[in-house]
Each structure stands twice: as structure tokens, then as C-alpha cells.
């Protein structure tokens, strides 16, 4: 699957992700030292050691070679999360 398609899936589930990930205002932040993934409602930014390495959105992908492999792994993981409501039985 292309990075743009994965990013679209992640962005489509932004509100569900917001319930389980650390948020800073309207941003979701994943810290996986030295990588930081910042998700907003229209793009996903990647940083390595606090240095911007690029973004991916619904219709573009501009990522450095340094972060490309890890970005794919994060996008695949986030795009394939399944959200399901569980109800407690009485």
C-alpha cells in the first residue's frame, strides 16, 4: 500500500486515535526516541532528533530517506488499528 493511502486511513481515524494517543492541543504526538510522529487532522509530520524530516498527507508525500522506512512502519501500524466498542456484561 502506498504511503499516501496509509496516511489517508490514519487521518480518517483521527478522532478514534485521539482517544488513545497523547494529545497536545489539536495534535496527536507519538514519541519513539529518536522519532517523533505528529498527527494533525490534515497531515502527519515526522521528526528525528527534533529535526523535521517531512510530511505525508492525503495527496502528497514528502519524506527524507532518513525517516522513510520508519514512517512506513508507523503508518502501517496506525492505519491497521481496529477500533471496537466493548460492552461489559452484567
- Asked if pLDDT for residue 36 goes beyond 80, the answer is yes
Mean pLDDT for 54-78 is 96
Give me the percent of the chain exceeding a pLDDT of 90.
Answer: 72
Mean pLDDT for 1-22 is 90
Coil vs helix vs strand at 31? strand
pLDDT at site 23: 87
Cα 17 from Cα 66, distance rounded (Å):
26
pLDDT at site 78: 94
Cα 1 from Cα 21, distance rounded (Å):
24
Instruction: With cut-offs at 50, 70 and 90, classify the pLDDT of residue 1.
Output: confident
Global confidence as pTM: 0.86
Amino acid at each position: 500500500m502506498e504511503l499516501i493511502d496509509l496516511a489517508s486511513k490514519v487521518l480518517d481515524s483521527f478522532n478514534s486515535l485521539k482517544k488513545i494517543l497523547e494529545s497536545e492541543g489539536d495534535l496527536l504526538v507519538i514519541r519513539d526516541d529518536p522519532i517523533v510522529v505528529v498527527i494533525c487532522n490534515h497531515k502527519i509530520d515526522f521528526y528525528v532528533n527534533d529535526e523535521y524530516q517531512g510530511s505525508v498527507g492525503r495527496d502528497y508525500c514528502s519524506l527524507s530517506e532518513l525517516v522513510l522506512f520508519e514512517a512506513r512502519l508507523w503508518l502501517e501500524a496506525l492505519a491497521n488499528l481496529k477500533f471496537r466498542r466493548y460492552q461489559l456484561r452484567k
